[in-house]
Chain A
Amino acid sequence: MKALITLLLQFAVPTAIIAAVFVGIVFFVLPREVRTIFKRELRSYFTSPIAYVLFVVFLGISNALSFFFTGVLEGGEADLFLPYFQYLPWYLILIAPAVGMRLWSEEQRLGTMELMLTMPLAPWHAILGKYLAAAVVLFTMLLLSFPIVWTINFLGEPDNGVIMSGFVATFFVALCFLAVTSFVSAMTRSQLVALLISVAVCLVLWLGGLPHISEMLMNLKGAWLIAWPLLKLINAVGVMPHFTELAKGVLGLRDIIFFLTFIAFCLFATSTAIRLKRA
C-alpha cells in the first residue's frame, strides 16, 4: 500500500502539474471562443460512446500485447521502456486517427461548418479548440494505462523517471498523429476516409523514422534519383528518432521543438484546407 502511494505521488504530481497548466491556459490565456468550442467538443466525446470504446480498445490492445508478445514477464528485468513504449506508438497509428477523424469531417457532413464559420471567431479558434479537446481524450487514455506502471513496480524496481519520459514521448507522438488527422479530416466529409488516409499517413511518418528504413532509403540514392528527395523528406519528418530520444529520458529541446513545429504546421495546414473548402 505504501508503495502504491509513493508511486502515485511520483506520477500524480507531475501529471497534476501538466493538467493544471493546461487548464490554466485554456481558461485564462486562450480566448473565450476557443474555450467554448473546446468544452462543446469534449462534452460531445464523452456523451457519445466513441471515447469509451476507444479507451477499451486501446487499453485492451496495449496491455494484452505488451504482456503476451513482448515478454515483459520473461525478461526478468522490469524495464518498461523496451517492451511497452516501443509498441505504444504502433497502436496510436490507429487510435489517434480514430479519435480525431470526426473533428472536421463530421462538421462538414452535418453542415455545421457553415454555422461555425459565420460566427464571430477566427478559424484558428475553432481548429485549436477542437484539437485540444481531442488531445484531452488521448491524455485521459494514457492516464488510464497507469495500472500497468503499477504492475511493473509491483514486479520489480524500474526507473520511474524513464517511464515518465516514455509517457511524455508517447503523448507527443499521439499529438503529432492527431494533428495529421485534423488536417486530413478537414479535406473530407467522410469519417471513414479521414480515418483510412490518416492511418496511412501516420504509418509513413512512423516507418520513415525506423532505423532500417532510413538505411534502406540512403542506399537507394543512386537508382531513385527522382524519388529520393521525397523519401528523404519522409525520412526527415519521421517521428520515431525524436520519440526514441525523448523516451530514453533525454529531455532534448531539439526533439520537443520538432514535435511542436510539426503540430503547428499540421494545424496551419488544417486552416488552409478549410479555407479552400469554403471557396
Chain B
Amino acid sequence: MIEVINLHKHFGAKVAVDGVSFTVKKGEVLGFLGPNGAGKSTTMRMVTGFMPPTLGSVRIGGADIETNEIEAKAKIGYLPEAAPLYSDMTVEAFLRFAAEMRRVPAAEIDAAVERVIETTFLDPVRHQSIDTLSKGYRHRTCFAQSIIHDPEVLILDEPTDGLDPNQKHEIRQLIHRMGKTKAIIFSTHILEEVEAACTRAIIIDRGRIIADGTPEELKAKASNAGTVYLKASGSAGEAIKEWLERLASTASVEVLESSDDEIIARVKPKKGKSNDLSSEVYTLCREKNLNVHELRVEEGRLDILFREITKSDSDK
C-alpha cells in the first residue's frame, strides 16, 4: 500500500532524511519512533506529498505521489503534527468541508460526518467554533478529518499528543482496530503506544532507519532481553554468585543484594544463549538445593533499546 524508496531530504547543507526505505502493507500499523528532530515529520510530509523529496520516491497504492499526485493523495488521510484547523469554522462545518475536499459523495457526507463525530467523541462541541476548543478537542477534530473519507492509507503525526490518558487509550484502540483494514503509519515518542497499537516499528535517528521489526523483535534486541532474574536462599550469596558465573551461557552476573543466606541477582546471557541460560540456572538451583523465591526471564524493553541505539549514535 505504501512504498517508500530511498527517500532523501536536504535543507541547504543540512540532511534531514538520509535514504529511508520501507513498505507498509494493508493490515499493518507501522510505529515511527525517533528522538526529536530525527526526521519523522519530514518523512511523513514527503509521504503525504506536502514536501517534494530531494531524492527518492513514494508510491501510495501504486500511484506515485509526485507524478500521479491527485490519485495518490485521494487514498491518504493525514493528521499533521500541529493539528492545524480553520479557526473561524465550527467543528461540523469544518468536517463537512473536509468531506467535500476528500471527495466523499454529496449524498454520503451527512453519514460520514456523523460517523467521525461519534468515533472521535466530538458530539459535545460539534456546533462550537474551532477557536474556542481546548487542545484535546482540536486534536480530535483534526484526527476526525483524516478519517472522514475512510482512507486506505492513514498517516498520523503524533495522534495522541495533547490527550488525557483515557482519550489516549481510546485513540490507540481506534488505531489498532482500523489497522486491520488499512495501512497506517503513526509517529510517537511514547513507547508503550508502539506495543499497544503497532504491528511493526521503525526507529529513525538523524534521518536514517536504525531499527526495523515487530515490537517483539525490537524488544529482543534490547540489552536486557533474556537476562535471568534470580532470588534464591539456602547458601551464601558469594558462593551462589560464583556458581552462576561458572555456567556455560553466562556472560556476567550483577548482584543486587547479597547476604550469608540469600542472593538477588541478574544474570546476563552470552549472545544467543538466553534460552539455555534460564534452564541452566534452574538446574543449578536444584543441584545445590537452593530455595528459589523468584526466577524469571526479563523481557527486553523498548525504552532501553531506544536509548541504547539513539544514544550510541549521537555520542560519536
Q: Which A7-44 residues have a C-beta within 8 angstroms of B? A: 32-33, 36-37, 40, 43-44
Which residues on A sit within 8 Å (CB–CB) of B174?
A: none
Which residues on B sit within 8 Å (CB–CB) of A119?
A: 73, 101-102
> Is B56 positioned at the interface, with any CB of A under 8 Å from its CB?
no
Contacts A47-B88, A115-B80, A118-B49 known; A36 to B70 CB distance under 8 Å? no
With beta carbons under 8 angstroms apart, the residue of A36, A47, A118, A122 that contacts B50 is A118
Does A112 contact B85, Cβ atoms closer than 8 Å? yes
With the chains together, A121 CA to B84 CA distance in Å? 18
Does B84 contact A110, Cβ atoms closer than 8 Å? yes
Minimum CB distance partner of B86 in chain A: A112
Does B86 contact A278, Cβ atoms closer than 8 Å? no
> Is A227 positioned at the interface, with any CB of B under 8 Å from its CB?
no
Contacts A36-B101, A278-B52 known; A44 to B89 CB distance under 8 Å? yes
Minimum CB distance partner of A47 in chain B: B88
With the chains together, A278 CA to B102 CA distance in Å? 21
Does A114 contact B88, Cβ atoms closer than 8 Å? no
Does B103 contact A111, Cβ atoms closer than 8 Å? no
Which residues on B sit within 8 Å (CB–CB) of A115?
A: 78, 80, 84-85, 142, 145
Q: How far is the CB of B190 from chain A (nearest CB, A)?
A: 22
Minimum CB distance partner of B77 in chain A: A118
Interface size range on B against A: 20 to 34
With the chains together, A33 CA to B86 CA distance in Å? 17
Q: Mark A36-75, 1 if CB is under 8 A from B, else 0.
A: 1100100110011000000000000000000000000000
Does B97 contact A120, Cβ atoms closer than 8 Å? no
Contacts A119-B102, A120-B103 known; A114 to B87 CB distance under 8 Å? no
Minimum CB distance partner of A112 in chain B: B84
Q: Which A96-151 residues have a C-beta within 8 angstroms of B? A: 110-122
Does B101 contact A114, Cβ atoms closer than 8 Å? no
> Is A279 positioned at the interface, with any CB of B under 8 Å from its CB?
yes
With beta carbons under 8 angstroms apart, the residue of A43, A48, A111 that contacts B80 is A111
With beta carbons under 8 angstroms apart, the residue of A36, A44, A111, A118 that contacts B48 is A118
> Is B51 positioned at the interface, with any CB of A under 8 Å from its CB?
yes
Does A279 contact B51, Cβ atoms closer than 8 Å? yes
With beta carbons under 8 angstroms apart, the residue of A47, A110, A121, A122 that contacts B101 is A121
> Is B82 positioned at the interface, with any CB of A under 8 Å from its CB?
yes
Contacts A33-B101, A36-B100, A279-B51 known; A122 to B70 CB distance under 8 Å? yes
With the chains together, A32 CA to B103 CA distance in Å? 9
Q: Mark B58-99, 1 if CB is under 8 A from A, else 0.
A: 000000000001110110101010101111110001000100
> Can you name 15 A-B residue pairings with CB atoms under 8 Å?
A33-B101, A37-B101, A40-B89, A40-B97, A110-B85, A112-B84, A115-B80, A115-B142, A117-B49, A117-B50, A118-B73, A118-B80, A120-B73, A120-B103, A278-B51
Chain A interfacial positions (CB closer than 8 Å to B): 32-33, 36-37, 40, 43-44, 47-48, 110-122, 278-279
